[in-house]
Amino acid sequence: MSKTTNQKLKLLYLARLFQSETDEQHRLTAQELILKLDQTYNIELERKTLYSDIDELKHYGMDIINEKDGRSTKYYLASRDFELAELKLLVDSVQSSRFITEQKSAQLIKKLEGLVSRYDATQLHRQVILTGRVKTLNETIYYSVDKIHNAINNNKQIRFQYFQWNEKKAAVLRHNGAWYEISPWALVYDDENYYLLAYDSSKDTIKHYRVDKMLNLDISDKAREGKDRYESIDLPSYSKGLFGMYGGEITDVSLLCKNDKAGILIDRFGTDIPLIPVDSEHFRTHIQISSSDQFLGWIFALGDGIKILSPQSLIDKIKAKAAETAKLYE
């Protein structure tokens, strides 16, 4: 590209230089800016024109500061849309999210690095090295979430196949590869995973699905169903009562708890749950939960700190689980 042609783009390239090459600790003189424009973008610029262009960028809204440094004047971009501390939080979120693959995490973080100078970008990169987490292997989840949002916004059903991992670490389609056709209503983020709440017309019920277990997801031409079913759910309570988003019959449960377990219950179910004093060491509470094995495992883990008082069916179930576990170690 000729230097004459590049003149039409000089303001854009000058703005890019300020974005990538300057910050409060890294400032450039007018001569250095002119040299970089020439060497990097093949643009020849006179000093007088540079001053005029910088004024135009300031008028556009770029926070370009010029300061005296001895006998020279140096320029830098003082502020950006995102502060470095804010971008560090975003990088941490992207890197630690299990539902985003390693490859997609790297791509997103690279884009975030472009929002600061190349010098500050190294700090973001240094954080990436420090945060290693288990990530999903399903590269399509990033696009599945987007399609689900589009289906919800356009009031459409979706169809997909569902898989699970076998003992050989291979992804095996469930129900022999049958297609799931459901009406999506909401996405829930729980236990570091994305779940879809959807209406299954064949069972006339609301179900939830792990988004990273979905394959070949597509939007259907059919309108969504199950609005009344979905709107009848108290979503916050529903989410709190699902342990690891494993399904089960929603059950009213009464618990006897030691006082030092109050914080655990409030962390899990919120401050709205009743804490009724029983004696100086215990209180009673009532919650709604999904009576899954994961809930029973949660009760087991709390030892003698929490006891199920009702319903009797759940008491019988946890007794049977305890007996099965004890037999396993005989």
Summarize pLDDT for 126-169 with one digit per residue, the tens.
544 444 445 666 667 778 888 999 999 999 999 999 988 766 66
- The answer to whether 229 touches 182, Cβ cutoff 8 Å, is no
Give the percent of the chain with pLDDT over 90: 44
Residue 296 φ/ψ region, left for φ over 0, alpha for ψ in the -120 to 50 degree band, beta for the rest = alpha
Range with the poorest average pLDDT among 12-16, 271-275, 308-312, 316-320: 271-275
CB 172 within 8 A of CB 154: no
> Which of 307, 306, 310 has its CA nearest to residue 288?
310
Question: What local confidence, expressed as pLDDT, does residue 266 receive?
Answer: 78
Residue 229 main-chain phi, psi, to 5 deg: -60, -45
In the numeric block, which tokens belong to residue 259? 């006082």
238-261 pLDDT per residue, tens = 665 554 444 556 788 999 999 888
230 pLDDT higher than 50: yes
How many C-beta atoms lie closer than 10 Å to residue 64's C-beta?
19
Each residue's pLDDT tens digit, 107-136: 898 999 999 999 998 888 654 444 444 566
Q: What is the pTM of this model?
A: 0.58
CA 238, 244, 250, 254 torsion-angle sign: negative
Rounded to whole angstroms, what are the CA distances from 215 to 177, 183, 212, 245?
10, 16, 8, 19
Distance, in Å, from the CA atom of 308 to the CA atom of 314, rounded to the nearest integer, reads 8
- Give the 3-state secondary structure of residue 220: strand
Rounded CA Rg of the chain = 29
